[in-house]
Amino acid sequence: MWNKIQELMGQHHPERLRVARLCIENGLAVRDDGIYLNRIEIPTARIARAAGVDRRTVAETVRMIQSDTGLRDIFERFQSAGLSLKGVAKQLSLGVVEISARDPKDIGILASASKLLADAGISIRQAQVDDPELSPEPKLTLIGDKSVPGHLIPEMLKIRGVARVSVY
């Protein structure tokens, strides 16, 4: 999917690609000639500022998405995944581990990482997995009920397909 988006927008219009990426990363839908966070319409100027483009570029991106049946069918159904604890983990004394895979389609990364946390007595409060077809740099983010001990990092790096592990 991301390749199709790049093909349509990226070669000649990298600024439109930034708008599309912003929508995907934030679960923003494109419908009714606008951009929405679930049922809330986001003003074009706000999207433009966040993407580092002008308002016309946002409007052109919306028109381009709506003119392509395949893209329109996908973008108009996006929804925000809801609250993420990642940004407030430190304040809530939660542990965060972020995993990048060599090939995000590898099987078992989530299961193996979850087992390592469970074996360490850490209950997973939230798991977020970026879709490799929609996100250019997909990650697995696990948020546990306490800090992740440093000795788990090398263990997670041993999981087949894992490229990088960040703990904070």
Among 31-40, 80-89, 130-139, the range scoring the smallest mean pLDDT is 130-139
Residues 46-57 have a mean pLDDT of 97
- 102: DSSP letter: S
pLDDT of 37:
96
pLDDT, one tens digit per residue, over 117-168 is: 999 999 999 999 988 877 778 899 999 999 999 999 999 999 999 999 999 8
pLDDT of 50:
98
**Three-class HEC string of 89-155:** CCCCCCEEEEEEECCCCCCCHHHHHHHHHHHCCCCEEEEEECCCCCCCCCCEEEEECCCCCCCHHHH
Percentage of the chain beyond pLDDT 70 is: 98
pLDDT of 135:
77
Q: Is the pLDDT confidence value at 82 over 90?
A: no
The hierarchical CATH code for the domain 2-75 is 1.10.10
pLDDT of 167:
94
pTM: 0.76
- What ranges do the domains of the chain cover? 2-75, 86-167
Distances (CA, A) of 37 to 40, 47, 63, 120, 145: 5, 11, 18, 37, 28
pLDDT of 10:
62
Q: Are 115 and 66 in contact (CB under 8 A)?
A: no
> What mean pLDDT, rounded, does the chain reach?
92
pLDDT of 133:
79
The hierarchical CATH code for the domain 86-167 is 3.30.70.260
Q: Are 60 and 15 in contact (CB under 8 A)?
A: no
pLDDT of 15:
93
